[in-house]
C-alpha cells in the first residue's frame, strides 16, 4: 500500500544556474601549484607517512579544528595553522582481516585497507568514526577532549563495533552519514557485494529503520552525495532529514539513464506495522532537475548530481542547496551549478504525487484521492 504510494515527484524548479562549459575553457578553475602558492592564500601541509585517499574533511568550528580521514589515518588539524603539530590516529585494519581480504581476491586496487568514510561529532567530547576495514566496515569512538587546548585525540579502547549499515565495504562506493542527537543516519551499501543500498538509521535511543530492501522504487543503485537536517517548525517532532543522491532512472527508454534526487525522512519516524516494521513510513523522493535551454532552443540536461553545498539563509527553515551536476551523455560533456531553495523543494513534497500506471514505463501524475495520513507526513507518536 504504502510503497505504491511512493512518489517520484518532478522537481522543476530552477532558480538560477550558471553553465560554464559553453566556452572551450575547462569547467573547473585551474590553478597550478606555483600560482596557488603565489596567491598567498594556501598553506602547504604534508603528511610524513604512507597514506592516500583523503576523503573526509570535517570542519569542527567549536574546537577550531579540521578532521581529515584517509587510508588508515585520522588527523586533527589546527584550523589557525595546519602545520602546528597535527594530532594523528593510525587505525589500520587488523592484519588477519587484511590477509582474508587479499585471499578473497579484493586487493587489486589497494582495497584491503581501512578507508575512513565517516567522521562525525557524537557529543562535546567524542567523535564517531568508521572505515571500510578491509571489506569489513568498523566503527569506533574517539576522544577529542573538551577544548582544543586539551590536545587529545585517541581511540577509546574497547569501543570498536561493526560498521555494517553505517559505512560501505568497498572504498570506491560513495556514502553519506550524519549523526543527529546521537543517532546515525547513513546512505550506504549494506552488504559485501554492494547490491543492497539503503538509507539506514542506527545507534542511540531510536529503533533501527531502513528503506525497503531490493526495491528499485525506493532506491535504484543510488550514489549518495550528501544530506541536510532542517527544523521545519518550532516543534522538534517536525525535524526532517533531506538526502541527496543520484540513481538509475526507472523511466526506461523515454528518460535519462540516471536522475538526481532529493529524498526526505522524518527524524521521529518509528517505522511501519506488519511488513513495514523497521521500514521508513515517511520516505519520499523527488527529482532534481538541472537543465538549460540553449539559444537554439535545445535543452541540455545535467542529470548527475556530484556534490552539494548548503548555504544557510536568515530563514533557518529555508536554506539554499547548491548542486554541482554533470551531463550523462558522451556527446556533450559539461557541468553546471543549480541552486534550489528548500521552500520550493518543500512545496514539491507537499504537491501531487507521481505513480506508474499499469506496466508502462512512464511516471504520471496520481489523480486519485490522496490517502490519509498523507504519505510522507510526520506522525506524532503518542504514548498511552
Ligand atoms: C604504502 O601503502 C601501500 C598500500 O598499502 C603499499 O602497497 C606500499 O607498498 C606502501 N609503500 C611504502 C613505501 O610503504
Ligand atoms: C559522549 O559520548 C560518550 C560515548 O557515549 C560518553 O562516554 C561521554 O560521556 C559523552 N560525553 C558527554 C560530554 O556527554
Number of neighbouring beta carbons within 10 Å of residue 326: 17
CA distances from 364 to 93, 352, 355, 371 (A): 49, 10, 5, 17
- pLDDT tens digits, residue range 297-310? 888 899 999 999 99
Nearest-angstrom CA–CA distance, 206 and 176? 19
Which whole number is the average pLDDT over 34-50? 82
**Model pLDDT for residues 106-127, shown as the tens digit of each residue:** 877 789 999 999 999 999 999 9
> Has residue 363 got a pLDDT over 70?
yes
Atom of ligand 1 nearest to the CA of 110: 4
CATH number assigned to the domain covering 1-22+195-384: 2.130.10.10
Mean pLDDT, residues 86-101 taken together: 95
Residue nearest atom 9 of ligand 1, based on CA coordinates: 50
Q: What is the average pLDDT value for the chain, to the nearest integer?
A: 86
Q: Please give the DSSP secondary-structure letter assigned to residue 237.
A: G
Q: pLDDT band at 381, cuts 50/70/90?
A: low
Residues with CB under 6 A from ligand 2: 122-126, 141
Q: What secondary structure, in 3-state letters, does 57-72 show?
A: EEEECCCCEEEEECEC
Phi, psi (5° rounding) for residue 303?
Answer: -95, -10
Q: What pLDDT shows up at residue 294?
A: 84
Task: Give nearest CA residue, ligand 1 atom 2.
Answer: 50
Residue 1 has pLDDT above 60, yes or no: no
For the entire predicted model, the pTM comes to 0.88
Q: Which helix (H) or strand (E) holds 343?
A: helix 342-349
What local confidence, expressed as pLDDT, does residue 5 receive? 31
Strand partners, 14: none
Exposed, middle or buried, 366 (CB in 10 Å: 0-12/13-18/19+)? middle
Query: What pLDDT, on the 0 to 100 scale, is given for residue 356?
Result: 76
Q: Does pLDDT of 251 surpass 80?
A: no
Q: How high is the pLDDT of residue 125?
A: 95
The residue ranges of every structural domain in the chain are 1-22+195-384, 54-170
Regarding the beta carbon of 110 and ligand 1, being less than 6 Å apart is answered: yes
Q: Is pLDDT at 285 greater than 50 in this prediction?
A: yes
pLDDT-derived band at 380 (thresholds 50, 70, 90) equals: low
CA of 377 to the centre of ligand 1 (A): 51
DSSP-assigned states of every residue in 111-143: -SS-BEEEEEE-SSSEEEEEE-TTTS-EEEEEE
| Ligand 1 binding pocket includes 35 (Cβ within 6 Å) | no
* Closest ligand 1 atom to Cα of 113: 5
Q: Is the dihedral of CA 19, 23, 27, 28 positive or negative?
A: negative
Amino acid at each position: 500500500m504504502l510503497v505504491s504510494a511512493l512518489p517520484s515527484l518532478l522537481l522543476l524548479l530552477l532558480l538560477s544556474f550558471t553553465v560554464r562549459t559553453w566556452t572551450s575553457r575547462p569547467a573547473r578553475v585551474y590553478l597550478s601549484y606555483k600560482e596557488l602558492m603565489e596567491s598567498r592564500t594556501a598553506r602547504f601541509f604534508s603528511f610524513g607517512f604512507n597514506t592516500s585517499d583523503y576523503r573526509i574533511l570535517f570542519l569542527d568550528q567549536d574546537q577550531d579544528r579540521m578532521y581529515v580521514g584517509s587510508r588508515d589515518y585520522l588527523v586533527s588539524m589546527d584550523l589557525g595553522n595546519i602545520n602546528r603539530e597535527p594530532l594523528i590516529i593510525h587505525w589500520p585494519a587488523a592484519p588477519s582481516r587484511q590477509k582474508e581480504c587479499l585471499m578473497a581476491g579484493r586487493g587489486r586496487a589497494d582495497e584491503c585497507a581501512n578507508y575512513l568514510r565517516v567522521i562525525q561529532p557524537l557529543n562535546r567530547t567524542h567523535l564517531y568514526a568508521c572505515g571500510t576495514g578491509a571489506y569489513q566496515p568498523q566503527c569506533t569512538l574517539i576522544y577529542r577532549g573538551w577544548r582544543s587546548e586539551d590536545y587529545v585525540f585517541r581511540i577509546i579502547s574497547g569501543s570498536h563495533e561493526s560498521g555494517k549499515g553505517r559505512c560501505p565495504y568497498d572504498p570506491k562506493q560513495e556514502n553519506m552519514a550524519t549523526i543527529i542527537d546521537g543517532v546515525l543516519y547513513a546512505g550506504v551499501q549494506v552488504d559485501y557485494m554492494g547490491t543492497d543500498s539503503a538509507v539506514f538509521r542506527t545507534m542511540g535511543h531510536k529503533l533501527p529503520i531502513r528503506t525497503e530492501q531490493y526495491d528499485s522504487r525506493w532506491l535504484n543503485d543510488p550514489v549518495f552525495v550528501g544530506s541536510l537536517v532542517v527544523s521545519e517548525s518550532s516543534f522538534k517532532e517536525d525535524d526532517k532529514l533531506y538526502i541527496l543522491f543520484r540513481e538509475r532512472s526507472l523511466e526506461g527508454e523515454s528518460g535519462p539513464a540516471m536522475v538526481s534526487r532529493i529524498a526526505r525522512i522524518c527524524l521521529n519516524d518509528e517505522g511501519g506495522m506488519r511488513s513495514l516494521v523497521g521500514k521508513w513510513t515517511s520516505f519520499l523522493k523527488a527529482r532534481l532537475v538541472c537543465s538549460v535551454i540553449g539559444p537554439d532552443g535545445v535543452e541540455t540536461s545535467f542529470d548527475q548530481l556530484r556534490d552539494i553545498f548548503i548555504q544557510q539563509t536568515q530563514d533557518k527553515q529555508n536554506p539554499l542547496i547548491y548542486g554541482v551536476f554533470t551531463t550523462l551523455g558522451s556527446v556533450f560533456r559539461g557541468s553546471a551549478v543549480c541552486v534550489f531553495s528548500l521552500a520550493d523543494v518543500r512545496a514539491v513534497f507537499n504537491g501531487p504525487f507521481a505513480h506508474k500506471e499499469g506496466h508502462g514505463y512512464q511516471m504520471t501524475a496520481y489523480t486519485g484521492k490522496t490517502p490519509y495520513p498523507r504519505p510522507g507526513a510526520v506522525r506524532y507518536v503518542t504514548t498511552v
